[in-house]
Amino acid sequence: MQTEAPAMAGHEVLPVSQGEACNSCPTSSLENIEKGYCGSAPSFDPSWLIDPSCVEIGPKITEGPRSTVFQGLYKSKPVAVKIIEPTKESTESKEKFQREVILLAKVKHDNIVKFIGACFEPSLMILTELMRGGTVQKHLRNIRPQTLDLKLSISFALDISRAMEYLHANGIIHRDLKPANLLLTEDMKQIKLADFGHAREEIAGAMTSEAGTYRWMAPELFHTEPLPRGVKKQYDHKADVYSFSIVLWELLMNETPFRGRASIMAAYATAKAVRPSLDDIPEKIIPLLESCWAHDPKTRPEFMEITDFLSNLFKELCSTEAEPPKVVETEVEHPEKCNVKKEESAITNHVIDRPEEKKKGKRRKKSRSLSFLWCFVCKCWCG
């Protein structure tokens, strides 16, 4: 797709009545708000609504259990179009949709996708900036069995941590932090957090249990015993910290967490205090992972602390990057002079023992060992 394409040939244009022009706030959507489809929250701003007649749907980017994301155009500008599938609980789904729109519209951060607008008809739709790098999940799968460079992994983790620190500082929990909800910029160097379908403002009371995706779900959200649908559990923003630890492990290992287990069994294992292997994790990062996926949420760090730790580690990695060894230029003597010196040296050696030669030998050995150590360090950081 062109960056500023005037049209998208062969792509679906959402149906509108003949002669209807693009409006910033369509009347039908305003009527839906007045009818109570969006709940009674006074914080919903009508200026967030867009006219569906200005939206063109392109190829599918990804698909989830309740929504599909497409590439598209809005007033000839590239966007991502998320369409929520209709459910039997239409009122409930519209209330969730409203909550997602409100949260997305209010958050402003470099590591969170930019909200563009939303509409209720002909379908529940959210428009955000188009992230051309795709999902982190897809990128990791594409490069397997290779892993990301360590410095890039930490840089990505920093992006995520900063986004989560911002959300938690504003009283918002995401509840579905995973690689499929992390999007890459076109240069594949920056991550932005997306999909606020499970996000909500944190409250002191009980909240919906088993919110999110099993493989990245914190143990306190999962039921090991069957319970009636809709049962709530007591948990807080530290559930996001656990999910972050599993994402960080994936960034370092490029493996599926709890590989070989079904998703629900992965959550069951988590509830029973099973965690991914730390065998090939860099030693300096192990304490961070262990604290973030601690079974007791109270002992997990805040994202502010995680950001500080990762920032310091990233600076350290940058400062210790291997530099090319310096080439020492030596003066090449004329062969005849070398022969004369060799003869003089041979004569002198017959007369006295030269300790200086022994020192030179030691210096050569020392130089070799330093060169070996330097190569070893380079391999550690670069490998």
Q: Is residue 329 part of a domain?
A: no
Give the count of beta carbons closer than 10 Å to the beta carbon of residue 186: 12
Is residue 218 in a domain? yes
Domain boundary among 62, 97, 129: 129
**What are the backbone angles phi and psi of residue 192, rounded to the nearest 5°?**
-130, 140
- pLDDT score, position 86: 74
Closest CA to 251 of 339, 198, 319, 310: 310
> At CA 69, angle to CA 230 and CA 138, rounded to 5?
95
Q: Are 279 and 343 found together in one domain? A: no
Residue, of 96 and 252, whose pLDDT is higher: 252
Split into its structural domains, the chain has a count of 3
Asked if the structure places residue 7 within a domain, the reply is no
Mean pLDDT of the chain: 79
Domain boundary among 129, 152, 172: 129
For residue 219, tell me if it sits in a domain.
yes
Cβ(158)–Cβ(310) below 8 Å: yes
Same domain, 339 and 209: no
Residue where a domain stops, chosen among 101, 129, 157: 129
Based on the fold, state whether residues 308 and 206 are members of the same structural domain: yes
Any long-range contacts for 363-371 (C-beta under 8 Å, 24+ apart)? Answer: 371/325
Q: Which one of 87-96, 195-204, 338-347 scores highest in mean pLDDT?
A: 195-204
Q: What is the dihedral of CA 293, 294, 299, 305, to 10 degrees?
A: -30
Per-residue pLDDT at 335: 52
Residues 6+ apart with CB under 8 A from 140: 148, 179, 250, 251, 254
- Among the ranges given (132-136, 181-185, 342-346, 363-367), the one the predictor scored with the smallest mean pLDDT: 363-367
Instruction: Give the pLDDT of residue 66.
Output: 83
As a whole-number percent, the residues of the chain with pLDDT over 90 amount to 57
Identify whether the C-beta of residue 79 lies closer than 8 Å to the C-beta of residue 73: yes
52 closest CA partner among 129, 121, 98, 114: 121
Cα 207 to the center of its chain, rounded Å: 25
| Catalytic pick among 176, 187, 240, 353 | 176
Question: Could you report how far apart the first and last alpha carbons of the chain are, in Å?
Answer: 36
pTM: 0.75
Q: What is the DSSP string of 25-76?
A: S-HHHHHHHHHTTT-S-TT--GGGB--GGGEEEEEEEEE-SSEEEEEEEETT
Assess if residue 275 is contained within a domain. yes
Inform me whether the pLDDT recorded for 18 exceeds 50. no
Indicate the burial class of 55 (C-beta count within 10 angstroms; 0-12, 13-18, 19 or more). buried
1 lies in some domain: no
Q: Is the peptide bond before 297 cis (omega within 30 degrees of 0)?
A: no
Confidence (pLDDT) at 331? 52
CATH of the domain at 221: 1.10.510.10
Instruction: Print the domain residue range for 313.
Output: 136-319
Which range has the worst mean pLDDT, 28-42, 76-90, 187-201, 241-255?
28-42
Grouping H, G, I as helix, E, B as strand and the rest as coil, residue 108 is coil
Mean pLDDT of 360-374: 38
CA distances from 136 to 12, 167, 181, 185 (A): 27, 20, 8, 10
Q: What is the dihedral of CA 246, 252, 257, 258, to 10 degrees?
A: -110
Average the pLDDT over each of 148-157, 195-204, 286-295 and give the range with the smallest value: 195-204
Let me know whether 299 and 344 are in one domain. Answer: no
d(CA 375, CA 325): 10
Token output for 7? 């049209």
We report the CATH number of the domain holding residue 20 as 3.30.200.20
pLDDT band for position 64 (cuts 50, 70, 90):
confident
Most confident stretch, 32-41, 247-256, 339-348: 247-256
CA 253, distance to chain mean position in Å, is 14
Answer yes or no: do 123 and 144 share one domain. no
Residues 6+ apart with CB under 8 A from 53: 13, 14, 16, 20, 21, 22, 23
Per-residue pLDDT, averaged over 259-274, amounts to 93
380 vs 375: CA distance, rounded Å: 9
| R_g (Cα) of the chain, nearest Å | 29
**Is 280 a known active-site residue?**
no
